[in-house]
Amino acid sequence: MIPTTKGAEQAEQSGWYVIYTKPRQEARALENLCNQGFDCCLPTLMVDRLRAGRRVVIAEPLFPRYLFVHLEAGRSNWSAIRSTLGVSHLVRFGGVAARIPSALIAALSEQPAQQKGLFDVGERLKVIDGPFVGIEAELLRLYEAPGGEARVMVLMEILARPQKISLPASAVRKAA
């Protein structure tokens, strides 16, 4: 009989484990792991982004560079994970693979897609383009112009008086 260590026994248990991916390759790792027959979970968040001056909604990982994989004792080829495109390594603590409760994965899978906007109402913004460069303002609302351009309505102080001004969303950034 070959002696086994406690770490080796825990590593051979069935359950959900954490995988650390290469930068911005979560989707690639997910696709390649699924193609190998692994059951995977990559929770995402819908996020507003500016692309060429237009507001675009894209899915981003809820936990950047991490995804979850279900591995079964004795049946899953754990060594194949390391050589999968997009995967950096299996997360370990003290030599033991990081295991996640199945209830947490179920809760993440069942949760409806949430959406995060470019900016939040009331947030402080700094103008980075146009005649008001360098002035800080408070966001009143974010909207789309008739041509599809993302715009912001801000409140800024000009000549010691508060003024509502509409600017392209690409002309402002979050104030530091």
Task: Provide the token pair at 169.
Answer: 């969303």
Buried b (16+ CB within 10 A) or exposed e, 88-125: eebeeeeeebebbeeeebeebeeeeeeeeebbeeebeb
What 8-state DSSP symbol labels residue 122? Answer: T
In which residue are the tokens 């990081």 written? 98
Fold of 124-174: SH3 type barrels. (2.30.30)
Task: Provide the token pair at 174.
Answer: 């979050």
Taking the model in full, what pTM does it have?
A: 0.62
44-51 and 115-116 beta bridge pairing: parallel
143 neighbors 151 (Cβ within 8 angstroms): yes
Task: Write down the domain spans for the chain.
Answer: 6-116, 124-174
pLDDT tens per residue, the chain (176 residues)? 333 334 444 445 789 999 999 999 999 999 999 999 899 999 988 887 777 767 777 888 989 999 999 988 766 677 888 889 999 999 999 988 899 999 999 888 887 666 667 788 888 999 988 899 999 999 998 888 787 778 889 999 988 899 999 998 888 888 87
Q: What is the CATH number of domain 6-116?
A: 3.30.70.940
